[in-house]
Amino acid sequence: MTTPKLSVIVLTDRFATIQRVVDHLSAQTIAGDIELVIGCPVRDELQMPTDVTFSLARVTVIEVPLLPAGTARATAVRAASAPVVVIGETHAFPAPEWASLLVHAHLGSWGSVAPGMVNANPETARSWAAFLMDYGRWLAVRPKGQIAEPPAYNASWKLAALLSVGERLPAMLDPAGALDSALAKEGRFHHEPRAHVEHLNVVSPKAWMVERYCGGRLLGAHRRRRWPLWRRVIYAGGSWLIPIVLLLRSRQALTLARRTTRIPRGTFPILVAASLLWALGEGLGYLAGPGQAEARMMEYEVNKEKYA
């Protein structure tokens, strides 16, 4: 059997949840070179159709609890067989040339390649605020070239580089994990804007607020596990500065997006609210850890279409 060129990892509860993702993978120009690695809690409850492997190189299913997410993703990475791996999402849909562009880019020295991100539900300000905060640094309208860091999800990585961190991999694949920092020595990072990925964003008001807060709390909690007490206290005390940093970064992305896309009115005030919610969560994360944030975020990660 031919070794796939790209492994795409997705965590899910049911196959129906990732049907749209599978359809986009099957439409890739190199679909026959793609392995789909599905991590699910119970194989017998996945309810996968028998013909799903028709256009893909293979589908690998592993049983693993979805939480903690870092452990689940690390287990799936170790089951992958292609030399290039993508940590995918149930709500991220690649354009047909996406896989071939990523594989081609990895023929060079790049350790990771970030795709060009596109908003899949651009009708509302809440969607744009979430999208710009999470993926504004990798918009499809940004130029091709070397970048400081790739996104946590939807970017491609050399499998050997991921495996090189050994037992640290689950922590690096945690929500808000610092995978890019751990692998900086394995190669530079590249942005390939032509490799489009449409990303669906939460817009349901309550879920949107919870997701923004939990994202910040998970970042603070991840740093809390690695940082000494004095540093955590300083960052928690200075958490009022976090919205300023987030807004400066997001506003630059908003300005860039407006050059080619009609952005809903009121997006910037919504960005302000999102930044405040994130800062509140991050500050509490430094002091008190994740709480129930990871479980709540996993609900949105797996079932985002329900909230979009």
164 with 20, same domain: the answer is yes
* SS3 state of residue 24: helix
Tell me whether strands 189-199 and 84-87 are parallel, antiparallel or unpaired: unpaired
Q: Which of 46-55, 67-76, 127-136, 276-285 has the lowest mean pLDDT?
A: 46-55
* Residues 102, 105, 111, 114, Cα dihedral to 10°: -50
- 1 located within any domain: no
148 with 185, same domain: the answer is yes
Number of structural domains the chain divides into: 2
CA distance 246 to 232: 19
CA distance 87 to 181: 16
pLDDT band, very low/low/confident/very high, at 94 (cuts 50, 70, 90) = very high
Q: Which of 30-34, 38-42, 178-182, 280-284 has the lowest mean pLDDT?
A: 178-182
63 with 114, same domain: the answer is yes
The mean of the pLDDT values for the chain is 93
Of 135, 168, 199, the residue at which a domain comes to its end is 199
Per-residue tokens: 268 = 């910037």
228 with 186, same domain: the answer is no
224 with 124, same domain: the answer is no
What is the share, in percent, of the chain residues with pLDDT greater than 70?
A: 96
112 with 210, same domain: the answer is no
Asked whether residue 187 carries a pLDDT value surpassing 70, the answer given is no
pLDDT band, very low/low/confident/very high, at 79 (cuts 50, 70, 90) = very high
- Residue type at 272? V
pLDDT band, very low/low/confident/very high, at 152 (cuts 50, 70, 90) = confident
151 with 121, same domain: the answer is yes
CATH number assigned to the domain comprising residue 58: 3.90.550.10
Asked whether residue 24 carries a pLDDT value surpassing 90, the answer given is yes
3-class SS shares of the chain: helix, strand, coil, % to 5: 50, 15, 30
- The residues, ordered by sequence, that sit 6+ positions from 195 with a Cβ below 8 Å of its Cβ are 94, 95, 97, 98, 101, 102, 105, 113, 115, 116
CA 246 from chain centre, in angstroms, equals: 18
- 49 located within any domain: yes
* Stretch 86-98: mean pLDDT: 98
> SS3 sequence, 34-97?
EEEEEEECCHHHCCCCCCCCCCCCEEEEEECCCCCHHHHHHHHHHHCCCCEEEECCCCEEECCC
pLDDT in tens, 262-274: 999 999 999 999 9
CA distance 294 to 301: 10
Angle between helices 125-135 and 205-226 (to 10 degrees): 20
What is the share, in percent, of the chain residues with pLDDT greater than 90?
A: 85
- 74 located within any domain: yes
Q: What pLDDT, on the 0 to 100 scale, is given for residue 54?
A: 72
- 16 located within any domain: yes
* Stretch 198-218: mean pLDDT: 97
133 with 212, same domain: the answer is no
Question: Is 202:126 a contact under the CB 8 Å cutoff?
Answer: yes
- Residue type at 178? A
19 with 157, same domain: the answer is yes
**What is residue 178's DSSP assignment?**
-
112 with 222, same domain: the answer is no
Asked whether residue 183 carries a pLDDT value surpassing 90, the answer given is no
Q: What is the pTM of this model?
A: 0.94
CA distance 118 to 297: 21
Of 165, 199, 233, the residue at which a domain comes to its end is 199
Q: What pLDDT, on the 0 to 100 scale, is given for residue 181?
A: 58
Asked whether residue 30 carries a pLDDT value surpassing 60, the answer given is yes
176 with 229, same domain: the answer is no
Of 159, 184, 199, the residue at which a domain comes to its end is 199
Asked whether residue 1 carries a pLDDT value surpassing 70, the answer given is no
pLDDT band, very low/low/confident/very high, at 182 (cuts 50, 70, 90) = low
Q: What pLDDT, on the 0 to 100 scale, is given for residue 226?
A: 87
Asked whether residue 180 carries a pLDDT value surpassing 70, the answer given is no
Q: What pLDDT, on the 0 to 100 scale, is given for residue 71?
A: 96
* Stretch 178-200: mean pLDDT: 80
Question: Across-strand partners of 145?
Answer: 191
Q: Which domain holds residue 277?
A: 205-307
Asked whether residue 151 carries a pLDDT value surpassing 80, the answer given is yes
Concatenating the DSSP letter of every residue in 199-255 gives E----SHHHHHHHHHHHHHHHHHHHHHHS-HHHHHHHHHTGGGHHHHHHHHHHHHHH
Backbone angles phi, psi at 34, to 5 degrees: -110, 130
Per-residue tokens: 149 = 């860091």
CA distance readout (Å), 209 to 189, 202, 273: 32, 9, 9
* Stretch 174-183: mean pLDDT: 69
* SS3 state of residue 141: coil
143 with 276, same domain: the answer is no
Cis before 4? omega within 30: no
* Stretch 74-87: mean pLDDT: 97
* Stretch 196-222: mean pLDDT: 97
CA distance 78 to 71: 11
